[in-house]
Amino acid sequence: MKSHHSLARHILDAIHRIEEYTANIGKDQFLGNFMLQDAVIRNIEIIGEASKNINVNVKQQFPQIPGEISTP
C-alpha cells in the first residue's frame, strides 16, 4: 500500500491538473469539449481512489478537511 504522503501527492497533483486544464475555460467551452471533460473526470477519479486509501488515523488527524477524505 502507498504511504499517506504518496496518496496526498496524487491528490494534489490531480487537483493541479484540473486547475491547469480548466484555467480560462468557461462553462460553455467545458461542456463542448468532451476530451477536457474526460480529463477532469479522470482526475476526480484519482482523487477519489487516493482519498479512499488514506489511513483512518491520518483522516482523523485532519478533521478540517471536508468530504470523503476526512470521513473515518
Instruction: Tell me the pLDDT of the chain (72 aa) as tens digits.
Output: 568 788 889 999 999 999 999 999 999 999 999 999 999 999 999 998 888 887 667 667 767 666 554 444
pTM of the model: 0.77
On whether residue 25 sits in a domain, the answer given is: yes
CA 52 to chain centre: 11
Whether residue 42 is contained in a domain is answered as: yes
8 is a domain residue: yes
Sign of CA dihedral 39, 11, 20, 64: positive
Query: Does a structural domain hold residue 45?
Result: yes
- Asked whether residue 72 is assigned to any structural domain, the reply reads no
Containing structural domain, residue 35: 4-57
Domain count for the chain, please give it: 1
